[in-house]
Structure 1
Amino acid sequence: NVDRFPDHDLPRWNFTDFMHSFMIVFRVLCGEWIESMWDCMLVGDVSCIPFFLATVVIGNFVVLNL
């Protein structure tokens, strides 16, 4: 799916390996999730929206209850 991005470069934040995936989830929990969701929607489809919203809601619920 790299051909869907301009200049055929993967975005800096992607789900290609565990470390990048962990950093995206951390970034989502910090509140900077919209850019990652747009990149996901560019490659995939609208099924990214429930994933990111669930991560925000459940992740913030867990963090607030620590």
Structure 2
Amino acid sequence: MNNFKDFVSEYSGAIIGAVIAILILLTGLYKLIIGIILIVMGIFIGNYVQRNKYAVKEKLKNFIDKM
């Protein structure tokens, strides 16, 4: 029994994470979470492109020229 207590105390974060992941999968919340992540990534990419217009333009031009 002592080994089980040691195991649970050492890996309690992983166990809690696995339980939360299973609940998210079973309830279908992963669709909402993926959508929110995509929106946030789009916001950051748009902000980066807006602030670094010329650098992004040059990098994109060089990438297209390589193709």
- Radius of gyration: which is bigger? 2
Shared fold by TM > 0.5? no
TM-score scaled by structure 1? 0.36
TM-score scaled by structure 2? 0.35
Larger helix fraction of residues:
2
